Amino acid sequence: MAVLHDGATYEEFVDYVTNLRGDVPKEELKELYERHLKLKGLTFDLKRGWKSVALAPDEQDLTNRQLENKVVSEAKAQGRNIARV
């Protein structure tokens, strides 16, 4: 059985479901299609996008605390006084 492709129209979805399940009421088909569209609209934010743009490669896998400690130690090495607020 083939998988329904992304961007399938309602008619393609109806054909797919009826081939899979047989005769399905129109109201249920509408609900299934709406749910299908909602599920296709989900995205997962892994917090990797901004890190790959904003940070150097050796800093991308650091936790926020590790990154903060690195920044503080680099500032202290430059002779700056760091005070937590």
Q: Are 28 and 57 found together in one domain?
A: no
Inside any domain, residue 2: no
Inside any domain, residue 78: yes
Inside any domain, residue 18: yes
- Nearby residues of 16 by Cβ (< 8 Å), 6 or more positions away: 4, 8
Structural domain containing residue 30: 10-40
What's the number of domains the chain is made of?
2
Inside any domain, residue 3: no
* pLDDT tens track for 24-71: 999 999 999 999 999 888 887 776 677 788 888 888 888 999 999 999
Q: Are 69 and 54 found together in one domain?
A: yes
Q: Are 19 and 52 found together in one domain?
A: no
Whole-model pTM? Answer: 0.50
Q: Are 49 and 27 found together in one domain?
A: no
